[in-house]
Chains A and B, each alone.
Chain A
Amino acid sequence: SQTIHQWPATLVQPVGSPLSLECTVEGTSNPNLYWYRQAAGRGLQLLFYSVGIGQISSEVPQNLSASRPQDRQFILSSKKLLLSDSGFYLCAWRLAGGNEQFFGPGTRLTVL
């Protein structure tokens, strides 16, 4: 069976510090991968998606970047965090051509 992992579960970082959130998927090959941010009381906002190694598409301009160094690894990064980067970050995967996305447990990021 397929599983998706995210870490860390929670993170508190000062403004201006770098960020690296990691997401890995097990039990499937060549998944489509997604990074979302969820603000309180708001719908999920798609940040990045990837159809393969090294292939990243960005949905909104922002202070963040994503990379996919391996087939089942998706990394969300920032060189300098802003207060507005605080939120709940969710990674998701989907079978290429499939209908459903499967979400990871999320990372709660607080920027102080």
Chain B
Amino acid sequence: KNQVEQSPQSLIILEGKNCTLQCNYTVSPFSNLRWYKQDTGRGPVSLTIMTFSENTKSNGRYTATLDADTKQSSLHITASQLSDSASYICVVSRGGFKTIFGAGTRLFVKA
């Protein structure tokens, strides 16, 4: 069954700290993996996209990793800011219109 599982479900951290969000998938075939950030009540916005041959991709304070062998990805956020409070969604594409979304990790950054 094609699934994308994210952990933790929610996370609370202090401003300035780092954190890592996890994504495990059982999607096949694999085309690419993306991380989205979704602010409450808004549409998701893409942070990174990685294909099979890429194992790391950075976007400012966000760094995503991909291990295609173990089918795991992580999103590391460095020096968190209050504006990082949002849901982070892992999305795996099988190619074409076949896209599987994770349920997301809800991150709360507290002052």
Give A contacts to B, CB under 8 Å: 32, 41-46, 49, 57, 88, 90, 92, 99-106, 108
* Cβ contact within 8 Å between B4 and A100: no
Across the A-B interface, how many residue pairs have beta carbons closer than 8 Å?
44
The 4 closest A-B pairs by CB, nearest first: A103-B43, A43-B101, A44-B101, A43-B103
Q: Is B49 an interface residue (CB 8 A)?
A: yes
Contact of B44 (CB < 8 Å), options: A45, A99, A103, A108: A103
- Known contacts A43-B102, A100-B49, A105 near B43 by CB under 8 Å: yes
* Cβ contact within 8 Å between A101 and B99: yes
Give B contacts to A, CB under 8 Å: 4, 9, 31-32, 34, 36, 41-46, 49, 89, 93, 97, 99-104
Contact of B43 (CB < 8 Å), options: A45, A99, A104: A104
* Cβ contact within 8 Å between B46 and A100: yes
**Closest residue to A91 on the B side, CB-wise?**
B43
A90 to B42, CA, bound (A): 9
| Chain B residues within an 8 Å CB radius of A105 | 42-43
| Chain A residues within an 8 Å CB radius of B49 | 99-100
